[in-house]
């Protein structure tokens, strides 16, 4: 996955400080019960704490006080490490929220009264439906729709993008966000949110994690972890009964240590952190996910619906080639085409100049000062220049130039119509160039596919995601662009209702569908899709219908968001695999240690060759505690993701995290045993 330029440090001093404080605050049993696995560990901690003070309360020997105390400390540290993981994830979110809060300050709003007069009030007093006027260098006091005016707006406080954007009444660029600043002209804005419910308020709440709800997959995994915990609890109780029947005395602290080591404490301690970190990664891509479910759904996307204009293509038709008519040199056509475009500020005009330069035009930019530029009009359907000697050079639509040349007594080249027809059949736009009454050739304008999209669509195809392009173009043009972009399918002459029908059709086949949009007419489809990414520059209706908003208003961002969702699911699955594999390895450390003294044959299972029963149990328990902070960086940053088929990905992760989850504890527990054995000998254990 491509790295976003906007990066933050993994952990700062402020995040570390808040995480340490949060680790202790979360010890409250009322909070811990939300994480059943770690709640069981906390209950075990309280029991061993009591045993440390009153070692004989459950019939244990009095000389086990030190052993009970060591187990208590390790359990306490285990809980702290689990809380620390979640607190670090929350701390990163809160750091981003603080940045947003700096933007959210009480500004003065100019309220327009019904009689046309103006009244200055605090922005916090504005209500939904109020109309305000915002002038140059004034901050927009709240979310709203522009109902009059056009202005440049600095949205850097929200998006981080320094270049101002244009906002105007009507169309798909009428939505404005509170906290942004008008840098030129003025806007009349109708407020669309009440105080405390603005887009910025929602962003702060979501980034802080205050409104984060567990996702369906997270809930399902929690149920699995609870089930495993209950099963191992039954196993430990049964084991105690079996040991008692066999005449083996097992200290209660050892049973608790066994339970804590066998239940999936690793993933239990990291589960919330993984979910929060997923939201954090999306936010760092300047995308606000309105729920964790939306981020997770991205990881399950099967079909992606994309608008052509602005998403797959630039939207402006750009020069792709110069095609001369018979008898005309191509370099002459290029020179005259560039001359007509030197003062043409349109994207098409600029692209003609750029393409001409790459093809070696002899025309200097200084020529623009020596000619009279004639702008394009809807009536003439052409533009051009008039030279000082009266020579007129024009470029424009085929029909317009044909009439222009005929009026001057010129002839239409025999191959001109075929050139124009061929370009049109490819979905391009032909611009004919003439000098006085002589036609020189045609500029081929085409809707240009954004660079790199072909490779990105190929990456999506590798992971089984189908891409469908929606366009209002005719089928021939749509097919041309679809082939060039490398999408899997297209819908030509697409209307808003066609998008909804296509989404419903895919969902009817059990597919998870994602789409992007920015207009009011996209709102129904955004609401229908499982993942709807609205542009921040779009209308309020689009943003309210979607479950994600891209602050950069880059429709192709959906590609990154899908990969973040995939990474979230892979990270959770990989660490769950590692955690369960860990438990299997720890079984071989503790079980032989518990029974070796009474059943010598159990020594065969002591394949780690651990020194003593006490060192084996404590080594496994210490490893169980320290593995949680060791995995925090992976939980925060996510498992490295590469597009591949799910079957191949499963085998790869099973190999790395499944096999690794078995091997690492064997090495770790043995090394800890080597260190703790002499220390325990000094304590008489």
- Please give the sequence-ordered ranges of beta strands (E in DSSP) within 73-208, or none if there are none: 108-112, 118-122, 131-134, 144-154, 165-168, 175-176, 181-191
- Options 307, 335, 530, 583, the catalytic residue: 307
Give the residue from 674, 676, 667 showing the smallest Cα distance to 585: 667
Spell 212-243 as b/e; 16+ CB within 10 A means b. bebbebbeebbeebbebbeebeeebeebbeeb
Question: Could you report the per-residue pLDDT of 315-360, keeping only the tens digit for each?
Answer: 667 899 999 999 999 999 999 999 999 988 888 888 999 999 999 8
Q: Assess contact for 597 and 669: CB atoms under 8 A.
A: no
Contacts of 475 (CB under 8 A, 6+ apart): 492, 493
Question: In the prediction, which pLDDT does 325 show?
Answer: 94
**What single DSSP character describes residue 450?**
P
Predicted confidence at residue 6, as pLDDT, reads: 44
Provide DSSP, 350-389: HHHHHHHHHTT----GGGGGGSEEE---TTT-EEEEE-TT
Cα–Cα distance, 445 to 318 (Å, whole number): 5
Residue 128: Cβ within 10 Å count: 14
CB contact at 8 A, 595 and 249: no
Helix (H) or strand (E) holding 442: strand 438-449
Q: What is the pLDDT of residue 93?
A: 59
Tally helices (H) and strands (E) across the chain.
Answer: 23, 20
> How many whole angstroms separate alpha carbon 258 and alpha carbon 4?
44
Report phi then psi at 392, rounded to 5.
-110, 125
Residue numbering of the annotated binding site for ATP: 344, 348, 376-383, 395
Report the alpha-carbon distance of residue 531 to residue 506 in Å, rounded. 13
What is the full DSSP assignment across 28-51?
Answer: -HHHHTTSHHHHHHHHHHHHHHHH
> Residue 515, SS3?
strand
How far is Cα 14 from Cα 192, in angstroms, rounded to an integer?
A: 36
Rounded Cα gap, residues 68 and 74, in angstroms:
10
CATH top-level class of 287-312+450-551: alpha beta
Locate 211 and state its tokens.
Answer: 């409104």
Yes or no: domain 316-448 corresponds to CATH 3.40.1110.10: yes
CB 470 within 8 A of CB 498: yes
CA angle (149, 155, 159) in 5-degree steps: 145
**Distance from C-alpha of 167 to C-alpha of 174, rounded to nearest angstrom:** 6
Q: Which two tokens stand for residue 312?
A: 């797959």
- Look at residues 345, 366, 365, 369 and name the one whose alpha carbon lies nearest to residue 357: 365
- Angle at CA of residue 243, ends 237 and 249, nearest 5°: 105
| Predicted pLDDT of residue 159 | 59
Residue 5's pLDDT is 39
Q: Which helix (H) or strand (E) holds 298?
A: helix 292-299
End-to-end CA distance of the chain: 52
Distance from C-alpha of 662 to C-alpha of 655, rounded to nearest angstrom: 11
8 Å CB contact between 310 and 34: no
Assign 289 to helix, strand or coil: strand
Sheet hosting strand 372-374, strand order edge to edge: 313-324, 438-449, 429-435, 392-396, 382-386, 372-374
For residue 298, give both structure tokens. Answer: 């991205």
pLDDT given for residue 3 in this prediction: 40
Beta bridge partners of 149: 187
Contacts of 30 (CB under 8 A, 6+ apart): none
List, for the chain, all residue ranges whose pLDDT scores fall below the cut of 70.
1-11, 56-63, 89, 91-106, 156-163, 171-173, 196, 198-215, 291-292, 310, 315-316, 537, 594-602, 643-646, 685
User: Is 307 marked active-site?
Assistant: yes
Task: Answer positive or negative: Cα dihedral of 156, 565, 455, 464.
Answer: negative
d(CA 603, CA 590): 11
Round to whole Å and give the CA distance between 125 and 661: 57
Known binding site for Mg(2+): residues? Answer: 518, 522
CB 358 within 8 Å of CB 445: no
Question: What residue numbers does the annotated binding site cover?
Answer: 344, 348, 376-383, 395, 518, 522
Q: What CATH number labels 108-206?
A: 2.70.150.10
* Model pLDDT for residues 435-468, shown as the tens digit of each residue: 999 999 999 988 778 888 888 888 888 878 899 9
What per-residue string of b and e applies to 253-274 under the rule 16 or more CB within 10 Å gives b? bbbbbbbbbbbbbbbbbbbbbb
User: What does the domain layout of the chain look like in residue ranges?
Assistant: 13-94+210-282+565-683, 108-206, 287-312+450-551, 316-448
Flag whether the pTM goes above 0.85: no
The beta-strand segments (E) located in 218-302 are 287-289
* The predicted structure's pLDDT at residue 214: 63
Q: Is 412 exposed, middle or buried (0-12, 13-18, 19+ CB in 10 A)?
A: middle
Rounded to 5 degrees, φ, ψ at 490 are -150, 155
Residues in the chain: 685
């Amino acid at each position: 996955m491509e790295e976003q330029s906007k990066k933050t440090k993994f952990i700062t001093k402020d995040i570390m400080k808040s995480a340490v404080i949060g680790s202790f605050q979360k010890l409250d049993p009322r909070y811990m019960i939300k994480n059943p696995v770690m709640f069981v560990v906390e209950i075990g901690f309280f029991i061993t704490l009591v045993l440390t003070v009153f070692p004989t309360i459950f019939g244990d020997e009095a000389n086990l006080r030190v052993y009970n105390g060591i187990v208590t400390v390790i359990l306490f540290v285990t809980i702290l490490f689990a809380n620390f993981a979640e607190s670090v994830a929350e701390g990163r979110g809160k750091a981003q929220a603080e940045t947003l809060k700096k933007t959210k300050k009480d500004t003065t709003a100019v309220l327009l009264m019904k009689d046309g007069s103006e009244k200055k009030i605090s922005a916090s007093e504005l209500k939904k439906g109020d109309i305000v006027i915002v002038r140059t260098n004034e901050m927009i006091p709240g979310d709203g729709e522009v109902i009059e005016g056009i202005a440049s707006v600095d949205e850097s406080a929200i998006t981080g993008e320094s270049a101002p954007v244009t906002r105007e009444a009507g169309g798909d660029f009428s939505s404005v966000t509170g906290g942004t600043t008008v840098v030129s002209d003025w806007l009349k804005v109708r407020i669309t949110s009440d105080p405390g419910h603005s887009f910025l308020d929602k962003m702060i709440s979501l980034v802080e994690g205050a409104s984060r709800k567990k996702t369906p997959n997270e809930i399902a995994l929690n149920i699995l972890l609870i089930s495993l915990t209950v099963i191992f609890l039954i196993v430990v109780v049964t084991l105690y009964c079996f040991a008692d029947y066999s005449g083996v005395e097992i200290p209660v602290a050892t049973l608790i240590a066994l339970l804590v080591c066998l239940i999936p404490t690793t993933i239990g301690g990291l589960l919330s952190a993984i979910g929060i970190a997923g939201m954090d990664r999306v936010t760092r891509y300047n995308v606000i996910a309105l729920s964790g479910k939306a981020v997770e759904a991205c990881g399950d996307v099967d079909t992606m619906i994309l608008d052509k204009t602005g998403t797959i293509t630039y939207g402006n038709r750009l020069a792709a080639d110069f095609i001369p008519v018979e008898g005309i040199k191509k370099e002459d056509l290029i020179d005259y085409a560039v001359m007509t475009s030197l003062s043409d500020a349109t994207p098409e005009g600029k692209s003609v100049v750029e393409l001409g330069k790459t093809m070696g035009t002899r025309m200097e930019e200084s020529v623009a000062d020596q000619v009279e530029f004639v702008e394009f009009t809807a009536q003439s359907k052409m533009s051009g220049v008039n030279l000082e000697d009266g020579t007129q050079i024009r470029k424009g639509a085929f029909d317009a130039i044909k009439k222009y040349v005929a009026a001057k007594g010129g002839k239409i080249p025999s191959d001109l119509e075929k050139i124009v027809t061929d370009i049109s059949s490819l979905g391009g736009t032909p611009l004919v160039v003439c000098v006085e009454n002589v036609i020189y050739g045609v500029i081929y304008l085409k809707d240009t596919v954004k660079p790199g999209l072909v490779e990105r669509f190929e990456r999506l195809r590798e992971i089984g995601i189908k891409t469908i392009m929606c366009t209002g173009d005719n089928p021939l043009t749509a097919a041309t662009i679809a082939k060039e972009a490398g999408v899997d399918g297209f819908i030509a002459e697409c209307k808003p209702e066609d998008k909804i029908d296509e989404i419903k059709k895919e969902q009817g086949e059990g597919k998870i569908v994602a789409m992007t949009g920015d207009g009011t007419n996209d709102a129904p489809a955004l609401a229908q899709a499982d993942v709807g990414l609205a542009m921040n520059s779009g209308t309020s209706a689009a943003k309210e219908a979607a479950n994600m908003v891209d602050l950069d208003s880059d429709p192709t961002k959906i590609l990154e968001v899908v990969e973040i969702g995939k990474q979230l699911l892979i990270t959770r699955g990989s660490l769950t695999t590692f955690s369960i594999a860990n438990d299997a390895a720890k079984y071989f450390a503790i079980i032989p240690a518990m029974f070796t003294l009474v059943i010598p044959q159990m020594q065969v299972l002591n394949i780690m060759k651990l020194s003593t029963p006490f060192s084996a149990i404590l080594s496994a328990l210490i490893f169980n505690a320290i593995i949680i902070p060791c995995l925090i960086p992976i939980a925060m940053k996510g498992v490295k993701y590469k597009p591949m088929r799910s079957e191949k990905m499963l085998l790869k992760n099973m190999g790395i995290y499944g096999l690794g989850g078995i091997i690492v504890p064997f090495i770790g527990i043995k090394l800890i045993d080597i260190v703790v054995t002499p220390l325990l000998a000094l304590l008489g254990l």
